[in-house]
Amino acid sequence: MTTSTDFEWLDNLEELRQSEPAWVVAMRKQALEAAKDLPWPERSKTPLRGRHADLSVLKDPLLPTAIPASVLATVQSDAYLAFGNGHLQEQALPPEALRQGIIVSALSRAIVEHQNRIQPVFGHVIGQPASRADALNGALWDDGAFIYIPDNVTLKTPILILHYADSQARRLIPRSLIIMGVNSHATIIERYVSASSDERLLFLGAVEISAQDGASVHYGSLQNLSARSDVFMRRQGHVYRDARIDWSIGEFGGDITIASDDTELLNPGAHSTHTMVFFGADKQRQDFDTRITHSSPHTTSHIIAKGVMKDKARSAFNGVTDIKPGAVQSDGRQKEQTLMLSDDAHADAVPSLLINENDVFAAHSASTGPIDKVALFYLMARGLSEKEAIRLFVHGFLAPVVDAIPSDLLRNAVWDSVERKLDQ
């Protein structure tokens, strides 16, 4: 078990972060204090067995690295940010976006340049850290994106953000903050990629989104970290009056992945759809807690998850639709489906509805099962090899969800990730 003394060497945060404003350093120190006492995320289906006791990886400097051209090409576009080992390497933003007041910047710069915009929101969407992983991210985040879309501005071009870790990196701690002004609209896609390596990578990610009245954001995330990564991901959104956050999350990489996604529908008319596609192979463990909280009347939500497990992979998906007292006329739905391609694979999907109000609609369904052997025979009887038959079947299983992803770019990248998992 890790004891608080393991953190003592981190207490010189001020020295490490001397270029940052005092309020940021104070937040980091507070988070560090919390990290000392908090446990790692506890998941009944995914025991961590002390795998993360080695926190010395948090100490070593993360050196800037060149992002391989093939990886960079996946985000290079009119509007993007690319980080290598937590250092901003490349970026672009169309001139008209600048004119409209859109900010797409490294968070490390934005805390200095846009303090007035950031300070009221940063750290407040996530709030108190719920686990050591959250707290360590709060204390030690390297860098990430700050995106601000001003009131009444619509950005058509998707904003792409890449977080890349090279084979030397033993940790990556990205954090992003997205503020959607009143009646603003945008698509933002974050990708996480690491070079394959024999060394373990400790990944602690966090994303905060605030969607103000009437705003809508399609937030996509695609995780393709190496097979030796311990992935802890925390995503949290606040949705105000008549606003919406549509999450499209693809989880493919990592050895262990523990993700906590939390969306709060704070005012009437708020909506969130949370779509997750995941695929585990080999001995991967994936554990997802996805929660949407209705704390206001006339709020609507939909949690959709599709997962495929092959080899000896295991997954657990826990969806929670939490309808608070007074959230009358709210509508919360969930649908989870998982498919197992081998006898040794295992998937659990548990939808929960926590309802403290009578005048609401809520529904859920979950199914998990092995691939249909008779269907495979049917496909093979037409000349498809077993591999092609499985591919077609898996495509068919995922298509209703993947093909509904509103961004071409993300949709294609998710299909690519599926292909690679099938071939793995």
Which residues in this chain contact other proteins in the complex, by CB under 8 A? 372-375, 377-386, 388-389, 392-393, 395-400
For residue 284, the minimal CB distance to other proteins (Å) is 23
C-alpha distances (whole Å) from 405 to each of 155, 219, 250, 409, 410 are: 18, 10, 11, 9, 7
What is the token pair recorded at 100? 């409209």
For residue 332, the minimal CB distance to other proteins (Å) is 25
For residue 398, the minimal CB distance to other proteins (Å) is 7
Phi and psi, residue 307, nearest 5°: -135, 150
Report the residue number, 66 or 375, with the smaller CB distance to other proteins: 375
For residue 15, the minimal CB distance to other proteins (Å) is 55
> How far is it, in rounded angstroms, from Cα 89 to Cα 355?
47
Report the residue number, 63 or 375, with the smaller CB distance to other proteins: 375
Report the residue number, 199 or 386, with the smaller CB distance to other proteins: 386
> How far is it, in rounded angstroms, from Cα 98 to Cα 79?
11
For residue 337, the minimal CB distance to other proteins (Å) is 10
Asked if 285 contacts 47 with a C-beta cutoff of 8 angstroms, the reply is no
For residue 248, the minimal CB distance to other proteins (Å) is 18
Report the residue number, 54 or 386, with the smaller CB distance to other proteins: 386
> How far is it, in rounded angstroms, from Cα 412 to Cα 79?
18
For residue 311, the minimal CB distance to other proteins (Å) is 21
Burial degree of 131 (CB within 10 A; 0-12, 13-18, 19+): buried
Report the residue number, 17 or 395, with the smaller CB distance to other proteins: 395
Collect all residues with Cβ–Cβ distance below 8 Å to 106 and sequence separation of at least 6: 81, 83, 88, 91, 143, 144, 145, 146
Report the residue number, 9 or 378, with the smaller CB distance to other proteins: 378
Report the residue number, 39 or 396, with the smaller CB distance to other proteins: 396
22: left (phi over 0), alpha (psi -120 to 50) or beta: alpha
For residue 393, the minimal CB distance to other proteins (Å) is 7
For residue 392, the minimal CB distance to other proteins (Å) is 6
For residue 387, the minimal CB distance to other proteins (Å) is 10
Report the residue number, 193 or 305, with the smaller CB distance to other proteins: 305
Q: How far apart are the first and last CA of the chain?
A: 34
Report the residue number, 217 or 276, with the smaller CB distance to other proteins: 276
Report the residue number, 1 or 374, with the smaller CB distance to other proteins: 374
